[in-house]
């Protein structure tokens, strides 16, 4: 059994101890700098509102488990969750509309939810001002976590099971040897450990610094205040039997004004996100003193009344009965925000055995703790955690400046209505491809991902709209789906299918894997047979031990011991690098090196039926089918520039990814652009690209499939080489699957087309069959080639082609049909041309 040290006895650390104990692990020590009865972190004063539903399936699932667990955590006939229900009210038409979208998320993720009228809001919550409220969303299973009590019960329960707790014991260092943790240090001692999990909440940055790890979270103060007793509530009979109930109305959110509410007996608690971001350095707060009490702890700062003034005014408007009260007690409470709002979960890329579970709300605490425990004990979590992965951040996103600016922005926007494509306005232009200047000249409209500026369409193509054949004319979109979108995408798609287009592919992750052990590493980690002739591209999957899909990638064998990987994320890089490090340490003769080359190279996707005409204007090299067949790769010279040409296409057309090193980028762009002119070439952006890849049936990892899905369910089993004799990660699990679960899985990623040919969806909407929510949309786009919106959705395997379903979009039902997959060129004739 492994020796585990957990740092921090907040709601996350104590849940983790409990989850490990329940999985049979026994050698566990929890080290806490504060006193155990009230450690003084964020948990010690958390009001504990649990609104489960978010746009994220992962986060909603983590919340749902937390509710279940707190309900089961019981002592003296009282559990740790007060299921009051949750009510989000709308006071603007925009919010009212957005609650419909949120209702859709609830249906997608399996949470019971009701859109309710203003009258019903008042029935549920009689103190609301009828003149202000337009309607609401009611979620009966939401409620209040009794976080401090839960923490104490978990300490009691795990202690009884043998977990050791060291209180008043600040961790001051992490012991390591040979790239592994070996223990934690505190004044006066060391606890030896094989695994250290930092659950230090907003102190995470300090703990990370002890091992040279940047933890992308920002501690921010957030205002919370309690009113004096509300005259109308004094003396009322609350059912003290249940949870020492001091609240019975639903927890309440008034997001239009950045406010939330709960009852505390006859007082009210008011939380406010509308004030200026107030960043805090955890190290400046000092260590917890022995005299921690409810009003005196490091995570509780002085109330700044002036910041709260707008909240107080608005509260009196929304809840008129509070006009008779005053603020009795307010504080600026500290907790963590992150650049993308997600928690931070995972193993340090630079140190084996050092794990992090931080920036976690009470709402997700037990869920995240379970995910850590499952990953430690079985190698994988049942809930996909990729969007919480510590390693999801790009290097540039780990700078202090970036973390501070984006996390503060996250605080400001926490309750805003955000479009899924909405870009941040700052920081921008962090990463630009060598084609950037040209793209700007062509009027590119950029959206940002991972710091990269990525063109979505080019205004230079607008004039071509008038030449679009009638069947390619874009349909009119509803205002929401029309945001961050342009009909120019139709032109770019039309040109790609009928002439030729160039796409900037630079921001896609590219890694080089090299060395005498390169082949062994890739064979061991992937489903395909990589032992091919140099000059060959292979599509392959990474699986987890359980046979869940943890990534898909293209691997190009450039030389015997040199491979290039086209992958999805920084997490793939962390995974490959760690595995390479382990292999090199295990067998020095099979050492292997992994190097990211994304930023030092650049890439143009040149695709379309006339791509060969264009390329032959630029080079005498042979680009025929024979010389460079589909899924072939070769190094060549194009107008004097060294280029590696990869014969593959995400959009499903003839062509190549032309990659060169950064210094030649602009020249390569100019050469291709010039050569293409007479062949009708256009630059094309992501908007067209996404539509083209969807109609060609190409899935995007993370969006369409995750670790929760087997390749058979996701429709990517073609990347598994059945005859591969080498063992690889996940193989045993795949072998254990029954033939029928491979052939006809119980759920499947399905292609849908929208019957009316025009109603758009954007992704994450629930899908109904016979009026029952049976699945959810992953990706969607207007498929120009077939002239209809297309969506991919997870559906029960039994719903075959031709099945009629309905997709709910802002409360409207859109009829759709399960279609054959893919819609476009299923035999790959175009790409093989
Ligand atoms: P913490 O509770 O902070 O625990 C971390 C522990 O680590 C601390 O006890 C600390 O003393 C210990 N520690 C740190 N460094 C060291 C070290 N070097 N050595 C030893 N021990 C160390 N969330 C919700 O879900 N719903 C809400 O309604 C809600 N409202 C909130 C309102 C306010 C005012 C605030 C401030 C937060 C709110 N939150 C809410 C957020 C929530 O409280 C936190 O996200 C959550 O409690 C974090 O739990 P944790 O266990 O990660 O961190």
CA dihedral 235, 241, 245, 251 (to 10 degrees): -110
pLDDT of residue 242: 61
Q: Name the catalytic one among 266, 552, 572, 704.
A: 552
Give the span between the Cα atoms of 766 and 776, in whole angstroms: 4
Whether ligand 1 lies within 6 angstroms of the CB of 271 is answered as yes
60-69, 232-241, 485-494, 822-831: least confidently modelled range: 232-241
With a cut of 80, say whether residue 675 has pLDDT above it: yes
Give the span between the Cα atoms of 118 and 140, in whole angstroms: 17
* 373 band by pLDDT with thresholds 50, 70 and 90: very high
- State mean pLDDT over 682-693: 98
Q: Name the catalytic one among 65, 165, 260, 485.
A: 260
Tell which atom from ligand 1 comes closest to the C-alpha of 221. Answer: 36
Tokens of 245: 């109930």
Tell which atom from ligand 1 comes closest to the C-alpha of 300. Answer: 36
pLDDT of residue 533: 97
State the distance from the centre of ligand 1 to the C-alpha of 106, rounded, in angstroms.
27
State the distance from the centre of ligand 1 to the C-alpha of 372, rounded, in angstroms.
17
415 is catalytic: no
Mutation choice for ligand 1 from 59, 286, 361, 414, CB with most ligand atoms inside 8 A: 361
Whether ligand 1 lies within 6 angstroms of the CB of 86 is answered as no
The pLDDT > 70 percentage for the chain reads 98
294-298, 550-554, 677-681: least confidently modelled range: 294-298
CA-nearest residue for atom 34, ligand 1, is 333
Tokens of 656: 């190549």
- State mean pLDDT over 303-314: 98
pLDDT of residue 506: 98
* 296 band by pLDDT with thresholds 50, 70 and 90: confident
For residue 32, the Cα-to-chain-centroid distance in whole angstroms is 30
State the distance from the centre of ligand 1 to the C-alpha of 277, rounded, in angstroms.
18
pLDDT in tens, 781-831: 999 999 999 999 999 999 999 999 999 999 999 999 999 999 999 999 999
CA-nearest residue for atom 6, ligand 1, is 8
H helical segments located in 677-767: 686-695, 711-714, 731-736, 739-743
pLDDT of residue 290: 61
With a cut of 90, say whether residue 243 has pLDDT above it: no
Tell which atom from ligand 1 comes closest to the C-alpha of 222. Answer: 34
Give the span between the Cα atoms of 667 and 333, in whole angstroms: 54
CA-nearest residue for atom 8, ligand 1, is 41
Whether ligand 1 lies within 6 angstroms of the CB of 315 is answered as no
Whether ligand 1 lies within 6 angstroms of the CB of 6 is answered as no
Whether ligand 1 lies within 6 angstroms of the CB of 66 is answered as no
pLDDT of residue 820: 95
Between strands 259-264 and 267-272, the pairing is antiparallel
260 is catalytic: yes
pLDDT of residue 481: 97
* 476 band by pLDDT with thresholds 50, 70 and 90: very high
pLDDT in tens, 154-180: 999 999 999 999 999 999 999 999 999
Mutation choice for ligand 1 from 8, 18, 145, 355, CB with most ligand atoms inside 8 A: 8
Give the span between the Cα atoms of 722 and 613, in whole angstroms: 38
With a cut of 80, say whether residue 589 has pLDDT above it: yes
Whether ligand 1 lies within 6 angstroms of the CB of 199 is answered as yes
Q: Which of 740, 828, 734, 750 is CA-nearest to residue 792?
A: 750
The pLDDT > 90 percentage for the chain reads 93
pLDDT in tens, 360-370: 999 999 999 99
pLDDT of residue 294: 80
Mutation choice for ligand 1 from 46, 277, 331, 368, CB with most ligand atoms inside 8 A: 46
Whether ligand 1 lies within 6 angstroms of the CB of 184 is answered as no
* Contact in structure between 78 and 100 (CB atoms under 8 Å): no
222 is catalytic: yes
pLDDT of residue 240: 65
**Mean pLDDT estimate for the chain:** 96
* Contact in structure between 767 and 815 (CB atoms under 8 Å): no
* 387 band by pLDDT with thresholds 50, 70 and 90: very high
In whole angstroms, how far apart are CA 482 and each of 93, 478, 488? 18, 6, 12
State the distance from the centre of ligand 1 to the C-alpha of 673, rounded, in angstroms.
54
pLDDT in tens, 715-765: 999 999 988 989 999 999 999 998 888 888 999 999 999 999 999 999 999
Give the span between the Cα atoms of 262 and 143, in whole angstroms: 10
pLDDT of residue 320: 97
pLDDT of residue 297: 84
- State mean pLDDT over 423-449: 97
Between strands 195-198 and 4-7, the pairing is parallel
ipTM value greater than 0.85: yes
DSSP string, 483-538: TT--THHHHHHHHHHHS-EEEE-TTSEEEEEESTTHHHHHHHHBSS-----TTEEE
State the distance from the centre of ligand 1 to the C-alpha of 360, rounded, in angstroms.
8
């Amino acid at each position: 059994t492994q020796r585990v040290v957990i740092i921090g006895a907040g709601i996350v650390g104590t849940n983790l101890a409990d989850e490990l104990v329940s999985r049979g692990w026994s050698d566990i020590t929890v080290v806490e700098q504060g006193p155990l009865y009230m450690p003084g972190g964020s948990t010690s004063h958390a009001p504990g509102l649990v609104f489960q539903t978010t746009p994220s399936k992962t986060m909603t699932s983590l919340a749902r488990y937390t509710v279940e667990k707190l309900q089961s955590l019981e002592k003296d006939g009282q559990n740790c969750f007060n299921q009051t229900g949750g009510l989000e009210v709308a006071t603007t038409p925009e919010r009212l509309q957005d609650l419909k979208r949120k209702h859709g998320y609830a249906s997608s993720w399996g949470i019971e939810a009701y859109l309710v009228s203003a009258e019903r809001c008042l029935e549920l919550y009689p103190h609301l001002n009828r003149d202000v409220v337009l309607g609401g969303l009611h979620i009966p299973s939401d409620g209040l976590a009794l976080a401090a009590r839960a923490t104490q019960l978990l300490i009691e329960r795990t202690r009884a099971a043998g977990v050791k707790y060291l209180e008043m014991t600040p961790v001051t260092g992490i012991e390591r040897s040979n790239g592994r943790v070996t223990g934690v240090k505190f004044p006066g001692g060391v606890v030896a450990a094989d695994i250290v999990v930092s659950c230090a909440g907003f102190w995470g940055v300090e703990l990370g610094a002890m091992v040279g790890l940047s933890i992308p979270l920002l501690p921010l103060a957030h205002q919370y205040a309690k009113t004096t007793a509300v005259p109308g509530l004094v003396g009322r009979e609350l059912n003290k039997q249940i949870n020492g109930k001091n609240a019975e109305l639903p927890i309440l959110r008034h997001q239009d004004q950045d406010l939330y509410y709960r009852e505390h007996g006859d007082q009210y608690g008011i939380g406010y996100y509308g004030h200026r971001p107030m960043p805090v350095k955890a190290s400046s707060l000092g260590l917890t003193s022995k005299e921690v009490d409810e009003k005196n702890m490091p995570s509780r700062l002085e109330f700044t009344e002036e910041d709260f003034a707008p909240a107080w005014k608005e509260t009196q408007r929304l809840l008129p009965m509070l006009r008779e009260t005053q603020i009795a007690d307010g504080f600026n409470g500290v907790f963590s925000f992150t650049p993308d709002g997600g928690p931070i979960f995972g193993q340090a890329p630079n140190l084996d055995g050092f794990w992090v579970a931080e920036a976690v709300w009470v709402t997700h605490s037990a869920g995240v703790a379970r995910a850590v425990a499952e990953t430690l004990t079985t190698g994988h979590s049942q809930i996909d955690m990729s969007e919480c992965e510590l390693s999801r951040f790009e290097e540039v996103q780990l700078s202090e400046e970036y973390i501070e600016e984006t996390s503060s922005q996250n605080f400001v926007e926490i309750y805003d209505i955000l479009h899924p494509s909405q870009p941040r306005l700052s920081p921008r232009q962090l990463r630009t491809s060598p084609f950037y200047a040209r793209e700007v000249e062509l009027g590119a409209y950029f959206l940002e991902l991972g710091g990269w500026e990525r063109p979505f369409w080019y205004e230079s193509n607008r004039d071509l709209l008038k030449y679009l054949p009638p069947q390619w004319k874009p349909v009119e979109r509803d205002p929401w789906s029309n945001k961050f979108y342009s009909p120019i995408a139709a032109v770019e798609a039309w040109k790609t299918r009928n002439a030729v287009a160039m796409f900037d592919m630079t921001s896609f992750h590219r890694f080089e894997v090299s060395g005498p052990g390169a082949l062994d590493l890739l064979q061991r980690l992937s489903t395909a047979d990589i032992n091919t002739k140099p000059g060959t591209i292979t599509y392959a999957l990474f699986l987890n031990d359980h046979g869940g899909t943890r990534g898909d990638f293209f691997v190009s064998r450039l030389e015997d011991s040199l491979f290039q990987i086209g992958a999805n994320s920084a997490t793939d890089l962390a995974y490959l690098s760690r595995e390479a490090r382990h292999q090199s340490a295990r067998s020095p003769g099979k050492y292997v090196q992994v190097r990211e080359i994304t930023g030092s190279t650049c890439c143009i996707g040149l695709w379309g039926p006339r791509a060969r005409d264009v390329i032959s204007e630029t080079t005498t090299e042979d680009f025929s089918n024979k010389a460079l067949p589909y899924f072939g790769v070769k190094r060549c010279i194009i107008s004097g520039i060294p280029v590696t040409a990869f014969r593959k296409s995400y959009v499903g057309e003839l062509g190549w990814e032309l990659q060169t090193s950064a210094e030649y980028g602009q020249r390569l762009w100019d050469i291709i652009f010039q050569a293409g002119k007479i062949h009708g070439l256009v630059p094309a952006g992501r908007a067209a690209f996404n539509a083209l890849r969807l109609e060609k049936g190409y899935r995007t990892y993370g969006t369409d499939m995750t670790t929760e899905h087997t390749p058979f369910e996701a429709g990517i089993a073609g990347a598994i080489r059945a005859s591969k004799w080498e063992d690889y990660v996940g193989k045993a699990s795949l072998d254990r699957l029954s033939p029928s679960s491979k052939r006809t899985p119980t759920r499947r990623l399905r292609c849908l087309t929208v019957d009316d040919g025009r109603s758009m969806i954007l992704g994450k909407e629930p899908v109904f069959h016979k009026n029952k929510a049976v699945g959810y949309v992953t990706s969607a786009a207007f498929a120009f080639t077939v002239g209809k919106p297309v969506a991919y959705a997870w559906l029960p395997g039994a719903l075959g082609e031709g099945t009629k379903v309905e997709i709910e979009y802002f409360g409207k039902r859109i009829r759709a049909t399960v279609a054959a997959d893919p819609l476009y060129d299923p035999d790959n004739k175009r790409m093989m041309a």
